[in-house]
Amino acid sequence: MTNTPLNALRTFEAVARNLSFAKGAEELNVSPAAVSSQIRLLEARLEQPLFHRKGRQITLTEAGKKLLPGVQRGLSELRQAVLKVGMDRSAGVLNISTMPTLLQKWILPRLSDFYEGHAEIDLRINADTGLVNFEQTDFHAAIRFGAGKWPGLKSQKLMDDWILPVCSPEMLRDIGPINSIEDLQGHDLFFVESEVWDSWFRVLGESGRESRWPLLNDSLSILMAAEQGQGIALSRWSLAARDIEAGRLARPIKTVVKTDWSYYFVSPPHFFDLPKVRIFRQWLLDHCASFSTPE
Amino acid sequence: MTNTPLNALRTFEAVARNLSFAKGAEELNVSPAAVSSQIRLLEARLEQPLFHRKGRQITLTEAGKKLLPGVQRGLSELRQAVLKVGMDRSAGVLNISTMPTLLQKWILPRLSDFYEGHAEIDLRINADTGLVNFEQTDFHAAIRFGAGKWPGLKSQKLMDDWILPVCSPEMLRDIGPINSIEDLQGHDLFFVESEVWDSWFRVLGESGRESRWPLLNDSLSILMAAEQGQGIALSRWSLAARDIEAGRLARPIKTVVKTDWSYYFVSPPHFFDLPKVRIFRQWLLDHCASFSTPE
DNA sequence: CTGTCAGTTAACTTTTTCTTAACCTTAATA
DNA sequence: TATTAAGGTTAAGAAAAAGTTAACTGACAG
């Protein structure tokens, strides 16, 4: 069986609705001649005329009258289906992947603000450390810490970060302020095995690194341990800032080391500028801009 | 606003239903590459992917899942609309135009046979002497008496016709058989002004025609007048045969003159071979073939 | 009559769609 | 582990479809 000439049906619908080849042509932004031949094609396919050409005005034949309603229903159904998918570009579900630590310490405290401002977007954040495969999942974007380049993806820098030592305010009272980075090495340091600390250890010199091994391998646990006075944690400003400002953590020494990597908003090109993605991205950027830096 | 890419939607539907580019391509009788680019086009238009390509198997994305049902409904609606019009090609209304006389005297007596054999065809016969304008009406075909050529129309000969004098059986008893055409001129002749009689008057010679004028101008009235013994009618075999065979009319002389014209089935080319038209045409031809000739 | 409007037709151009053929990835097989 | 096959993608070019312009036709209004 030969398939239905869909475009000719659309032309037919426009002409039949206007009862005019010329108006139909105008509506479809084509010449009357194009419309004429499309209709001719459809009539040939159906092996019967669809319009009576009576001088300068046309009317539908019986066949045309019978065809029109179904074609209108069908086309409108298709239009709506496409429209609905289009709508989801600004509203609907927005799936974001990010790292557990950033989610817990930075995003979650700010999230209610987003929900309040954008009820039309159903934001779903997933905590996941590995790389997202955007080809095989429905994630629209991710927030990642890195050098800024991900193959095949568009990215935008959100903010820089700094490494800094933190401990509980009580501990700081007990041991007193620390005046040099070398002094710091006299205490228990918590940190996670990761290249994130490279910048920090470069400042200490290679020897500093060799001598130390991570005691805990989860950034959140480290911060919690520091908060409870168990030692000094090597953390990131982005994760600790809120606790410092709230007085739950203190800085034994003001020295900070900027990390090589930064936070980036990462997304496949076809999602990057989707309205709902753009809205979320802009919201992130605003909050990053007003986020404090460690002096 | 830019319009919906209908053909791409059809491709999408086939691929989504089969969950395979290859199967979809086979179904649409195109190469996988063609399908691939159609989908790519649609995805570009919607600015979001519709399938997850996971190695050798594909799945629908959220957007794809949302799009599919509406597209299926829409396409099926269009298919049905087109199908319904196609159906009408074999069933449905069949509008035929013919001349009042032939309708009355030849078709109507045979019509119940057609209705019995073809209940699916809603035959509507219209009696009309003038030429049918097939462009501006819904007539599918006409039966006309003529030379066999109508511009822009297909025609097929149904049967020849003959001119012959008829009168009531009683009158024939009274005046006795007539032995030559010249004898005939001694009586009152009824005929209708029309070029149909040319063949007849050619046999009589020009003078015959000059002296006679039509007394009645309606073929049916003429036959009725003859039947009631009011004179001799110059009629056509096709119209009188039935009455002759039933004994309501008699032939005062056996001489018949074949007309220049014949009966033709006439139809626009796009209707000529429509199933329902063909069926009716064949039915006519069968009846014409078994219709008697005047010796 | 004449001019105009609406639709058609024909020749030609542009755009879209399809095919072919090489390539890539994944999964099954030797 | 290398090999093969299946399924999808890509690029270049060919084929098909759709569009344009311009001349033509026929109906209608002034």
pLDDT band at A96 (very low <50, low <70, confident <90, very high): very high
- 3-class DSSP assignment, residue B165: strand
Contact B74 A70 (CB under 8 A): no
CA nearest neighbour of A164 among A178, A150, A174, A153? A178
Backbone angles phi, psi at A19, to 5 degrees: 50, 45
Number of A:B CB contacts under 8 A? Answer: 131
Distance in Å, residue A21 CA to nucleotide C17 C1': 26
Q: Which has the closest alpha carbon to B291: B159, B168, B125? A: B159
C-alpha dihedral (A138, A144, A147, A152), degrees to nearest 10? 0
Measured CA angle at A203 (ends A198, A208), to 5 deg = 75
User: Which of A70, A85, A135 minimises the CB distance to B53?
Assistant: A135
Spatial separation of the C-alpha atoms in residues B179 and B172, rounded to whole Å: 12
Alpha helices, DSSP H, located in chain A: 6-18, 21-28, 32-46, 62-87, 100-102, 108-117, 169-175, 181-184, 198-204, 206-210, 219-227, 237-245, 269-272, 275-289
Which among A44, A52, A66 has the least Cβ separation from residue B88?
Answer: A66
Answer yes or no: is pLDDT of A179 > 80: no
In the 180-209 stretch of chain B, whose C-beta falls under 7 Å of nucleic acid strand D?
A: none
Least confident of A75-79, A130-134, B54-58: A130-134
Q: Decide if pLDDT at A23 tops 90.
A: yes
Q: Give the range among B11-20, B94-103, B135-144 with minimum mean pLDDT.
A: B135-144
Residue A50 has pLDDT above 90, yes or no: yes
Q: Residue A206 pLDDT more than 60? A: no
Best to test chain B binding among A10, A13, A48 (most B CBs inside 10 Å): A48
The confidence score (pLDDT) of residue A210 equals: 46
Please report the pLDDT score of residue B205 as a whole number. Answer: 59
Which residues of chain B are within 8 Å of residue A49 when distances are taken between CB atoms? 270
H helical segments located in A228-268: 237-245
What pLDDT does B213 receive? 54
Q: What is the mean pLDDT of chain B?
A: 85
Cβ pair A138:B53 closer than 8 A: no
A144-158, A226-240, B129-143: lowest mean pLDDT where? B129-143
What are the distances in angstroms from CA A9 to CA A29, A82, B149? 16, 18, 35
Instruction: Reduce the DSSP state of residue A70 to 3 states and report it.
Output: helix
**B-chain residues near A75 (CB < 8 A):** 74, 78
Interface test with A, best of B60, B85, B132, B267 (most A CBs within 10 A): B85
| Chain D bases near protein CB atoms (7 A cut-off) | 6-12, 17-22, 26-28
pTM confidence score: 0.72
pLDDT band for position A21 (cuts 50, 70, 90): very high
Examine the pLDDT at A211 and tell me if it is beyond 90: no
Task: Give the span between the Cα atoms of B65 and B24, in whole angstroms.
Answer: 17
Cβ atoms of A140 and A277 within 8 Å: the answer is yes
Backbone angles phi, psi at B257, to 5 degrees: -125, 125
Distance of alpha carbon B280 from alpha carbon A188, whole angstroms: 103
Is the pLDDT score of A32 beyond 60?
A: yes
Q: Which nucleotide is nearest to A40 (CA to C1')?
A: C8
3-state secondary structure of A283: helix
- Mean pLDDT lowest for which of A2-6, B185-189, B262-266? B185-189
What pLDDT sits at residue B210? 46
Note the pLDDT of residue B211. Answer: 45
Q: What CA–CA distance (Å, rounded) separates A58 from A21?
A: 8
- Which band of pLDDT confidence, cut at 50, 70 and 90, is reported for residue A1? very low
pLDDT, mean of residues A254-283: 90
| pLDDT tens digits, one per residue of A188-201 | 666 665 555 556 66
Query: Is 60 exceeded by the pLDDT of residue A212?
Result: no
Mean pLDDT of A255-278: 89
